[in-house]
Amino acid sequence: MARRIELRHLSVRYGDLLAVQDVSMTIEPRSVTALIGPSGCGKSTMLRAMNRMLELIPSARVQGRVLLDGTNVYGRAVDPVRVRRSIGMVYQQPNPFPTMSIRDNVLAGVRLSDRRIGRDRADALVESSLRSTNLWEEVSRRLGEPATGLSGGQQRRLCIARAIAVEPEVLLLDEPCSALDPISTATIEGLIGRLREDRTVVIVTHNMQQAARVSERTAFFSTDGPGTPGRLVEYDDTATVFSNPRHQQTEDYITGRLG
């Protein structure tokens, strides 16, 4: 089941640095939402705030609310581990675990929450996760081999499979195609299109053509200069943001005059 995420007056600090200021936006289920904007405007920070990964950084402080179908994920009674299971994340340039086989990589996240997962269930999850990421045909005969033997694009899809195996309702992808060749990029973009069918997908991308190709909604973030916090400038249907932006700052960015 896909879920709706609402950010309400979300601000994030790292120590004295205000990195993101007062962001409010609603992210619809069964859609892809792209976060774009110049480097340093807080896109990764926002992703990490959404699933409470930011708490693992000691200097980080979050203000405001993140609602998952109406429930504040920062609520007192909410277990952050459960939040991270519902809202999965694939980091920028993730790596498979080098000492593990392809199969064990897919199951690595699942085993953190379910150590005694049975063989049949594990087999089914490995197959469905690898099918979802278009990898099954490529690796089904070598599941026991080290993941490091895969190509860069395959390794990236394996990391997405590892995140999907936990069956998150929301998937956050930070620059899912960075440093990949055009063919691997196209494969992953196709995959993102299918992941949205029963999930909520949020991607951070520097590639504006990619945002235009894969997302329904685009949020443009920016700052007012070095040392000033990132803020949400414009959030709308992707077609509108790219063809008819409301703000000059958005237009300057998408036409390459900024950032």
Cβ count near 40 (within 10 Å)? 16
Question: Quick check: 35 and 221 in contact, CB under 8 A?
Answer: yes
Q: Report the distance separating Cα 207 and Cα 205, nearest Å.
A: 5
When the beta carbons of 144 and 225 are compared against ligand ADP, the nearer one is: 225
Closer residue to ligand ADP in complex, CB, 42/168:
42
CA pair distance 138, 157, nearest whole angstrom: 11
Q: Does 40 bind ligand ADP (CB under 6 A)?
A: yes
Choose which of 3, 7, 21, 43 interacts with ligand ADP (CB under 6 A).
Answer: 43
Number of neighbours of residue 176 by Cβ within 10 angstroms: 28
CB of 57 to ligand ADP, least distance (A): 5
Q: Is 81 one of the binding residues for ligand ADP (CB under 6 A)?
A: no
256 contacts 242 by C-beta, under 8 angstroms: no
Residue from the set 11, 21, 33, 44 that interacts with ligand ADP by CB under 6 A? 44
C-beta of 17 vs 112, nearer to ligand ADP = 17
Q: Under the criterion CB under 6 A, does residue 176 sit at the interface with ligand ADP? A: no
Q: Lay out the site mask for ligand ADP across 12-31 (x = CB under 6 A, - = otherwise).
A: --x--x-x------------
Q: Using the structure block, give the residue that is written with the tokens 């950032």.
A: 259
Assess 130 for contact with ligand ADP (CB under 6 A). no
Q: Which is nearer to ligand ADP, 14 or 136 (by Cβ)?
A: 14
* Buried residues in 64-92 as b, exposed as e (16+ CB within 10 A): bbbbbeeeebbeeeeeeeebbbbbbbbbe
Measured from the CB of residue 39, what is the shortest distance to ligand ADP in angstroms?
4
The whole-angstrom separation of Cα 136 and Cα 143 is 9
Instruction: Confirm or reject binding of residue 205 to ligand ADP (CB under 6 A).
Output: no
SS3 191: helix
Kindly list the residues in this chain that would bind ligand ADP in the complex (CB under 6 A). 14, 17, 19, 39-45, 57, 59, 230
